[in-house]
């Protein structure tokens, strides 16, 4: 860790007495604690000395009060375990781990002399300088990922800039406190759970912000944020509110980089910052190869070497590298003349535009960038703009003889609302200026009545109005009908998932989930079918179960015990009540548990319909149900209860008139035939009874 020369006496005086007492003492019989280096939220870092190796070290000690906290103590243990796997120049090394005589946990690591990466930020860096720094971070991530360690909190504060033994600038990844060891035991209680958010909002990947389990590509997104910050002098997303930052990570496009950033570097950043992780680079190794190739092309001594540029460009554009709306391809690379290959044009790619695909929606701003060799020109689809390599003079729109190496940009445009209009609606909604947003939205919807993006904004508007969340659900459903790919948009999905949980709109939410969301609704449907406090009705629950069973992976997440019990209690609302009840009893008998006993006792075996016109199944299916129920009860009564087997009361919901619910007892009537309210119990025995006349004669 960082070695400080400044006195820490004041900080030491404010520490817990057990931490103060460490200075000057020896722990684990081999580490002398010399001085306090810094204080953090979880403890303190001390300068220490290994008495056997005569080497200075940094010793991180967990605060005594936090040692008793299982979650924080476990995080400290995970940091030690994950970081101890690493042995690379760009990763901080953990050399030891243990507990003091007062049971305070500690870990021993390299003592670093330098500063955090944050000290180099705050102003734009040259592209080659930024790439050189990012390359070292990438190498550290590559090593960590190869050891199965995902950092999940890559940020400038967790990157130290120091010097190696040859006085070369070296960056080191530190603080693996929320790192995840990939492929860990499924029984690990600290394994990441979907729905929990880990990381720092300003550097958090969209999937982390959405509570999805992170993989290596989350670290690559954070690397993209840092690289952007080095090139622009500021992060792409800035806000005082952490929640706003999280929303930006999920749905906002980063502002364009400064014009002086070379296009190839901007393309690398753009792909690192892809919202969908499948659109990013697949691994840190791939990013390392790309950055190394880009550095070769940026170095002045490579400008006159066609062969070097071809090698670098082939690495940078191997196969196809989609970068947001821009695609680089090297399909014509073998046909290039190595002696005449021009240097990369110093022109930025066109800004990204919103993409809307679907019936009535327009594909706006689809841009394809490619390098063509000596081949026949392809007729443009809409507009074909050629850019001369030097960037000084516009080239003709059709390649002329001898002008083989020309970069072409093809723009395909179609009708649809302008991105600026959508952005203005978003701004008005964000500022809660709902009336103005409604006016602008109404005018645009008159012009583009079937546009998915406008239906989405209508849903946002309705969700903000009191009592309109049900209508908002309908608007989101319309947007999905027009453009099903919206479900892949993290921001859209997060908003819709929130709307699905609107109190009082469960029926509408279930319809949208079943008819329009498909597999994207499975997590919501699992919540519904596993809800014991307010279960779905029989028919709705089985509709949800049928959809969930289209994916075998869902079977392990369905509470089959609860749903079997619900089938018993709701059988009367089935179209075939006797068969449904018999099937549920058979399932209970096949896997008997004491949990079922009170549920079976509460259940009432269905009886045949009184008339043939009311019959929904053969009356013979109802025969013997009472005897079968009694047999199952006798079997269950022999079992021992487990914790929670008798807890909870299941509320049964009618299916909307498909079968009558048990009748409530009628209120007693007076002699005159009018219903009497039940008498309230006397409370004369209580202190306040002395004020009531009816109690005076008692």
Per DSSP bridges, beta strands 407-412 and 149-150 are unpaired
The answer to the question of residue 687 being in a domain is: no
Whether residue 364 is predicted with pLDDT greater than 80 in this model: the reply is: no
Residue 230 and residue 134 share a domain = yes
pLDDT of residue 435: 92
List pLDDT tens digits, range 559-589.
999 999 999 999 888 888 899 999 999 999 9
Measured distance between the N- and C-terminal CA atoms of the chain, rounded to whole angstroms: 82
The predicted pLDDT at position 466 comes to 87
Query: What is the distance, to the nearest Å, from the Cα of residue 270 to the centroid of all Cα atoms in its chain?
Result: 19
Give CA torsion, residues 559, 561, 564, 565, to 10 deg.
-110
Taking the C-alpha atoms of residue 636 and residue 580, their distance in angstroms, rounded to an integer, is 20
Residue 509 included in any domain: no
96 and 125 together in one domain: no
Q: How many CB atoms lie within 10 A of CB 83?
A: 26
Question: Based on the domain organization, do 167 and 201 belong to the same domain?
Answer: yes
Domain range holding 254? 115-184+194-298
* HEC letters along 136-187: HHHHHHHHHHHCCEECCCCCHHHEEEEECCCCCEEEEECCCCCCEECCCCCC
By the 8 A CB rule, do 374 and 502 touch? no
Domain identity same for 390 and 421: no
SS3 379: coil
Given a cut of 60, is residue 182 above it in pLDDT? Answer: no
Q: Are 683 and 689 in contact (CB under 8 A)?
A: yes
Report pLDDT digits (tens) over 505-529. Answer: 888 888 888 888 988 899 999 999 9
Over residues 384-434, the pLDDT tens digits come to 323 333 333 333 333 333 333 333 333 333 467 888 899 899 999 988 899
> SS3 for 97?
strand
365 falls within a domain? yes
663 inside domain: no
Same domain, 144 and 100: no
The answer, yes or no, to whether residue 696 has pLDDT greater than 60, is no
The pLDDT value given to residue 644: 55
Give the number of domains in the chain: 5
Rounded CA gap, 334 and 317, in Å? Answer: 13
- Following CA atoms 264, 267, 268, 273 in sequence, which dihedral angle do they give, to the nearest 10 degrees? 160
pTM as predicted? 0.46
Residues 146 and 293 in one domain: yes
CA distances from 634 to 177, 494, 569, 631 (A): 54, 48, 18, 5
Do 447 and 392 share a structural domain? no
Q: What digits encode the pLDDT tens for the residues 28-85?
A: 889 999 999 888 767 789 999 999 888 899 999 988 878 777 777 887 887 787 777 7
Indicate if 130 and 221 belong to the same structural domain: yes
Sheet holding 159-163, edge to edge: 114-116, 159-163, 169-173
Same-domain pairing of 66 and 173: no
pLDDT digits (tens, 9 = 90+) for 653-675: 554 433 334 434 444 444 444 44
> Both 127 and 271 in a single domain?
yes
Distance between CA atoms of residues 91 and 109, nearest Å: 11
H helices of 415-521, in order, are: 419-430, 434-447, 452-464, 469-482, 490-500, 506-512
Q: Annotated catalytic sites, by residue?
A: 153
Q: What is the CATH number of the domain that holds 78?
A: 3.30.200.20
- Asked if pLDDT for residue 381 goes beyond 60, the answer is no
Unique residue bearing structure tokens 């290596």: 216
CB 220 within 8 A of CB 287: yes
pLDDT band at 126 (very low <50, low <70, confident <90, very high): very high
Q: Which of 5-14, 225-234, 432-441, 461-470 has the highest mean pLDDT?
A: 225-234
Residue that terminates a domain, selected from 400, 415, 430: 415
């Amino acid at each position: 860790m960082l070695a400080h020369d400044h006195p820490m006496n004041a900080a030491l005086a404010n520490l817990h007495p057990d931490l103060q007492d460490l200075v000057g003492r020896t722990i684990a019989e081999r580490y002398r604690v010399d001085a306090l280096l810094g204080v953090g939220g979880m403890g303190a870092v001390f300068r220490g000395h290994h008495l056997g190796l005569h080497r200075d070290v940094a010793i991180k000690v967990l605060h005594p009060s936090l040692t008793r906290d299982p979650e924080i103590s476990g995080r400290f243990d995970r940091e030690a375990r994950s970081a101890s796997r690493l042995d690379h120049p760009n990763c901080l090394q953990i050399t030891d781990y243990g507990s003091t005589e007062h049971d305070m946990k500690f870990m021993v690591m390299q003592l670093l002399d330098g500063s955090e990466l944050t000290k180099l930020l705050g102003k734009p860096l040259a592209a080659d300088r930024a790439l050189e720094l990012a390359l070292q971070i990438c190498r550290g991530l590559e090593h960590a990922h190869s050891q199965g360690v995902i950092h999940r909190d890559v940020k400038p504060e967790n990157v130290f800039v120091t010097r190696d033994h040859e006085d070369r600038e070296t960056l080191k990844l530190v603080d693996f406190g929320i790192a995840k060891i990939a492929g860990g035991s499924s029984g690990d209680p600290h394994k990441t759970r979907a729905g929990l958010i880990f990381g720092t909002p300003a550097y958090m990947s969209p999937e982390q912000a959405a509570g999805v389990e992170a993989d290596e590509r989350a670290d690559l997104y954070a690397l993209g944020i840092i690289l952007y910050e080095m090139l622009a002098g500021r992060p792409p997303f800035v806000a005082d509110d952490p929640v706003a930052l999280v929303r930006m990570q999920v749905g906002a496009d980063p502002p364009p980089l400064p014009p002086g950033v070379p296009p190839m570097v901007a393309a690398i950043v753009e792909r690192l910052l892809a919202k969908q992780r499948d659109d990013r680079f697949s691994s840190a190794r791939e990013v390392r190869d790309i950055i190394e190739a880009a550095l070769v092309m940026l170095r002045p001594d490579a400008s006159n070497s066609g062969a070097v540029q071809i090698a670098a460009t082939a690495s940078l554009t191997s196969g196809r590298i989609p970068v947001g709306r821009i695609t680089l391809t090297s399909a014509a690379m073998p046909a290039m003349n190595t002696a005449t290959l021009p240097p990369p044009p110093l022109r930025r790619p066109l800004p990204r535009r919103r993409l809307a695909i679907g019936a009535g929606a327009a594909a706006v701003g689809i841009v394809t960038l490619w390098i063509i060799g000596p081949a026949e020109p392809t007729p443009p689809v809409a507009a074909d703009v050629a850019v001369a390599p030097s960037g000084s003079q516009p080239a003709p729109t059709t390649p002329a003889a001898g002008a083989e190496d020309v970069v072409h940009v093809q723009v395909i445009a179609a009708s649809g609302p302008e991105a600026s209009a959508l952005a203005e609606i978003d701004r008005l909604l964000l500022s809660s200026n709902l009336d103005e947003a409604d006016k602008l939205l109404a005018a645009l919807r008159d012009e583009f009545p079937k546009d998915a993006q406008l239906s989405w904004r209508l849903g946002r508007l309705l969700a903000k109005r009191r009592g309109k969340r049900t209508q908002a659900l309908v608007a989101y459903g319309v947007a999905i009908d027009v453009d099903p790919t919206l479900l892949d948009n993290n921001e859209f999905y997060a908003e819709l998932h929130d709307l699905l949980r609107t109190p009082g709109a469960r029926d509408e939410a279930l319809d949208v989930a079943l008819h329009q969301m498909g597999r994207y609704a499975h997590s919501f449907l699992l919540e519904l079918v596993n809800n014991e406090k307010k279960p779905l009705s029989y028919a709705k629950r089985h509709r949800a179960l049928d959809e969930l069973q289209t994916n075998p992976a869902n079977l392990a997440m369905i509470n089959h015990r609860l749903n079997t019990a619900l089938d018993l209690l709701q059988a009367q609302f089935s179209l075939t009540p006797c068969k449904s009840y018999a099937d549920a009893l058979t399932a209970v008998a096949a896997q008997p548990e004491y949990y079922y006993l009170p549920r079976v006792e509460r259940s009432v075996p269905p009886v045949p319909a009184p008339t043939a016109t009311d019959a929904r199944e053969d009356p013979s299916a109802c025969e013997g149900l009472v005897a079968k129920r009694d047999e199952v009860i006798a079997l269950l009564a022999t079992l021992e209860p487990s914790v929670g087997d008798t807890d909870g009361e299941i509320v049964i919901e009618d299916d909307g008139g498909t079968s009558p619910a048990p009748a409530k007892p009628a209120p007693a009537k007076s002699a005159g035939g009018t219903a009497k309210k039940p008498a309230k119990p006397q409370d004369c025995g209580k202190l306040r009874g002395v004020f009531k006349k009816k109690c005076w004669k008692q």
